[in-house]
Amino acid sequence: METTELDTKAEEASVNGHDDTWKVFDDDQAFLQHIISKKPAEEIVEVPEWDVKILCRALNAEKRIEAQALGYNEKTKLINYRVCFDMIVMAGCFNPVTGKRIFTPSHRDMLMHDQDGGVIERLALTILRLSRMLLGDSERAKKN
């Protein structure tokens, strides 16, 4: 039987288990500014059905919680985001030029009844993916 010697001196981790690429700040204001400077994940989505490009952004904490609450089924104990695609699209779609939200609650009926459902689904799924709220995204995150 062959044995192998382990190299116990290889790259020692810091006290918190992370290497030195993790940022630390001696100044609380600099720490806060660093956090605030990080923007949510975003992606430009081409919507040929509407002849436009839409900026989709990850949901903020408030809208993320709202989507989870709206989609939760007490009976099955599962979340189905399809029941709140309208809210997700209203919360996560922005004008790529102005950076302002495109849709408001007054647009709900138009989005859900007058528009191509495939577009609404594509936008909602993009926003959910950017928000890391889809099953595959959380599974990939666990592996990394």
pLDDT above 70 coverage of the chain, percent? 80
- Topology of the domain covering 41-143: rbstp2171 (3.30.2220)
Report residue 19's pLDDT band, with 50, 70 and 90 as the boundaries.
low
The DSSP annotation for 16-81 comes to: TS--TTS---SSHHHHHHHHHTPPPPEEEEEETTTTEEEEEEPPPHHHHHHHHHHHEETTTTEE-G
What percent of the chain is modeled with pLDDT above 90? Answer: 73
Domain boundaries, the chain: 41-143
Q: Is the pLDDT of residue 142 over 80?
A: no
Write the CA distances from 111 to 74, 95, 106, 120, integer angstroms. 27, 16, 10, 7
Judging by beta carbons within 10 Å of its beta carbon (0-12, 13-18, 19+), is residue 125 exposed, middle or buried? middle
12 pLDDT higher than 80: no
Question: How confident is the model over 84-134, as pLDDT tens digits?
Answer: 999 999 999 999 999 999 999 999 999 999 999 999 999 999 999 999 999
Residue 86 carries which side chain, given as an amino acid letter? Answer: D
For residue 2, what pLDDT is reported?
Answer: 54
Task: Give the model's confidence band at 21: pLDDT under 50 very low, under 70 low, under 90 confident, else very high.
Answer: confident
> Quick check: 13 pLDDT over 70?
no
